[in-house]
Amino acid sequence: MRAPLLPGITGPADVRGLSTSDLVGLAREIRGFLVDKVSSVGGHLGPNLGAVELTIAAHRVFDSPRDVLLFDTGHQAYVHKILTGRQREFAGLRQAGGLSGYPSRAESVHDVIENSHASAALSYADGLAKAFALRGEHHRRVVALVGDGALTGGVAYEALNNLGAAQHRPVIVILNDNGRSYSPTVGGLAAHLRGLGDGAHAGNLFADLGFAYLGPVDGHDLAQLDDALRQAAALRRPVVVHCLTRKGKGYPPAEQDEDDCLHTVGVVDPATGRPRSAGAPTWTSVFADEIAAIGADRPDVVCLTAAMTHPTGLGEFAARFPHRLFDVGIAEQHAVTSAAGLAVGGLHPVVAIYATFLNRAMDQVLMDVALHRLPVTFVLDRAGVTGPDGPSHHGMWDASILPVVPGLRLAAPRDCGQLREQLREAVDVADGPTAVRYPKAAVGPDIPAVRRIGCCDVLREDPAARVLLVAVGPLAGPCLAAAAELAAHGVPVTVVDPRWIAPLDPALVKLACAHTLVVAVEDTAATGALGGRLAQALSSAGSDTCAVTFALPPQFLPHASREQILRAHGLDAAGIATTVLKRLTRPEEASA
């Protein structure tokens, strides 16, 4: 029996020191390591299993960190982390205080950019190559390992346009072509890459843009990869090395995963890739059921996704109405403007997208949808604190940005019943855009309302209350628990769910004026949150009510569970109650 190789890998130099015959065994060990570690804590499994040999070859041929290796998207960087000496930290992968699921500059000098949104690495590569040239660092090379799905994003083409024209700046693009991003790669690019792989195309997009083109190469053959990358390095010009790989390589459950359930996983049985326990209904699954039902009722409703049909809950809609589901690839800007075109054409588009990715298309939301007062509904999954994917994936900006969009109505449902109700309200709006946001979490029980005033639901009412808790979305539960705790301290509290958090409902302003202290509780960035807008409205109304924003700090928050992050920032029942007690002016209440 050969001694394991992986424990001896403490950095890229150890990889370069291995014989060619050792590398196949190392790749096998890495795959076993990934299945073992990721199945026990969760993370991105399929993409990393497919990038094992690519990453080994890149670290053999290039000398990181002198040569810069960039990963697009960063979720395929686990093997890079292993080869740069972080394998012992994988037990804490995506856990609080542990290893990030993406490249992290704080972790290693080998992580140059913290990219986890697709399509950006080629622009970074262009800028780095220019910087090295201007600084006279001609010995440094820039290498971008790009998934084929990332090339469906428009910014990638903007970078290719610049890179291919700069023949004197050697940037090497390793194209990881596995035919998938989350879902199968779509559009003309996918067809072009298939043609290149089959030798069926006389033309070549990359060569036409000015790149040298090498390939296609078997992305799991280390000898071929080594030879192709060394050729690319010797050319000293922009090069695309086209590598054909299989997502999930070496792990049968992932290789056979047509729905990409093993792209990213929670805790699973490593033998089967299936979850160890049945999960509770999630916000995404509730949306999935309701949008399919709406599709049956409304033939004018169409849905768009940016390469995430199943993760955003559109699988059932796609199965029932295949001609009304449009996957545009990882191209959020195009998705939004295409939706605008669908609306101009008389349909009601629903754009299902992660909240963090909508940030990339704000100009289109403003100028292509809202300016034309078009009925487009944005369904924002993973809104607020998302947890283990960290700062790039927390959906904590949309609720601060979207309220500035003229005519846009923004909903934050508190429970399953409200998600269904407000989604239908949103698609019924015909004179402007709407958005519905909800978190990545299990859905709790429905929370009944005492009464409805305007669009707002009063969830708890006390005629003696001087304090009003404005509970945004799923924080209604913690606010009600805090109100009960405050009542035990002799502090009566009314709790209201605004339901639609933009624009402000006049009924909410009127209710707030009847209280001394209003605390708006929201898991979004405090800047631009509901509390600040409510305070401004109260001031304009001449009210002396004190309105307080209780939300997340306007910072990039680390990875941890949703519950841990909310608790750390006081957005749980105990923290909310403590905040209210500290804000009250009566000494006996402040000290309670």
* Same domain for 388 and 328: yes
Can you give the residue range of the structural domain that contains 80?
Answer: 20-249
Last residue of a domain, one of 249, 265, 295: 249
* Same domain for 348 and 464: no
CATH number of the domain where residue 551 is located: 3.40.50.920
Strands 264-265 and 43-44: antiparallel
Closest CA to 399 of 414, 412, 390, 386: 412
Candidates 86, 180, 247, 499; catalytic one: 247
pLDDT of residue 200: 66
* Same domain for 412 and 326: yes
Annotated binding residue at 199?
no
Q: Specify whether the backbone of 530 is left (phi greater than 0), alpha (psi in -120 to 50) or beta.
A: alpha
* Same domain for 427 and 300: yes
User: For residues 204 and 122, what is the distance between their CA atoms, to the nearest angstrom?
Assistant: 19
Residues of the chain with pLDDT under 70: 1, 181-183, 200-202, 278, 585-592
Last residue of a domain, one of 203, 224, 249: 249
Amino acid identity of 223? A
Annotated binding residue at 192?
no
Q: Specify whether the backbone of 248 is left (phi greater than 0), alpha (psi in -120 to 50) or beta.
A: left
Annotated binding residue at 114?
no
pLDDT of residue 240: 97
Residue 447 included in any domain: no
Annotated binding residue at 331?
no
Annotated binding residue at 251?
yes
Candidates 37, 324, 360, 466; catalytic one: 360
pLDDT of residue 394: 93
pLDDT of residue 148: 82
Last residue of a domain, one of 226, 249, 272: 249
User: What is the helix (H) or strand (E) element at residue 460, kind and residue range?
Assistant: strand 456-460
Annotated binding residue at 220?
no
Candidates 290, 332, 425, 522; catalytic one: 332
* Same domain for 502 and 429: no
* Same domain for 307 and 236: no
Please tell me what DSSP assigns to residue 349: E
Q: Annotated catalytic, 255?
A: no
* Same domain for 240 and 193: yes
pLDDT of residue 243: 96
Do the Cβ atoms of 360 and 416 come closer than 8 Å? no
Annotated binding residue at 150?
yes
Q: Annotated catalytic, 247?
A: yes
Domain count within the chain: 3
* Same domain for 40 and 112: yes
Q: Annotated catalytic, 332?
A: yes
Q: Which two tokens stand for residue 310?
A: 């199943």
* Same domain for 181 and 125: yes
